[in-house]
Amino acid sequence: MKSKRIHHGKSFDSSTAALDNLMDKLFKQVKAQFGDAIKSFWFYDGDLCPACVQRSIGVVKYKGQDALAINAFIYRERGVLIGYFLCETCATYIFKEAQKNPYQQTPLHADIERNLITAYHKHLAMLDA
């Protein structure tokens, strides 16, 4: 049996399947592009936003609708595609920056990647324990 994600939010459970779907789609896309360099994927399921590590992860309003805005980055050393959500503030910031400079990473991305890699290693350590 699959373990259930426990969340204190209201509608998170109903969107878990949607999330799995999204992640699966994303994984296939990335795999098609990078081939064997990508071996697995992992979804960051911490409570705090991996960018600011202060606010909790929120559902982002996009054009008046709640959007499940998934982000992902490739942790190349391990061949892992890491998916994550941001808090509303960081998501809005990155969204605006991306409109100004579509192909540029923001300084936030360095923080995000560092925090996600740390979280991923904690996750691996827990599996080994």
Q: Which residues bind Zn ion (CB under 5 A)?
A: 49, 51-52, 55, 87, 90
Please state, in angstroms and rounded to a whole number, the distance separating the CA atoms of residues 104 and 96.
12
Encoded amino acid at 71, one letter: N
Q: Which is nearer to Zn ion, 30 or 52 (CB)?
A: 52
Least gap, CB of 7 to Zn ion (angstroms): 17
Least gap, CB of 121 to Zn ion (angstroms): 21
Please state, in angstroms and rounded to a whole number, the distance separating the CA atoms of residues 106 and 42.
23
Q: Which is nearer to Zn ion, 81 or 90 (CB)?
A: 90
Least gap, CB of 55 to Zn ion (angstroms): 5
Least gap, CB of 50 to Zn ion (angstroms): 8
Please state, in angstroms and rounded to a whole number, the distance separating the CA atoms of residues 6 and 105.
32
Q: Which is nearer to Zn ion, 72 or 87 (CB)?
A: 87
Q: Which is nearer to Zn ion, 33 or 56 (CB)?
A: 56
Question: What's phi and psi for 61, nearest 5 deg?
Answer: -85, 125
In terms of Cβ atoms closer than 10 Å to its own Cβ (0-12, 13-18, 19+), residue 93 is: middle
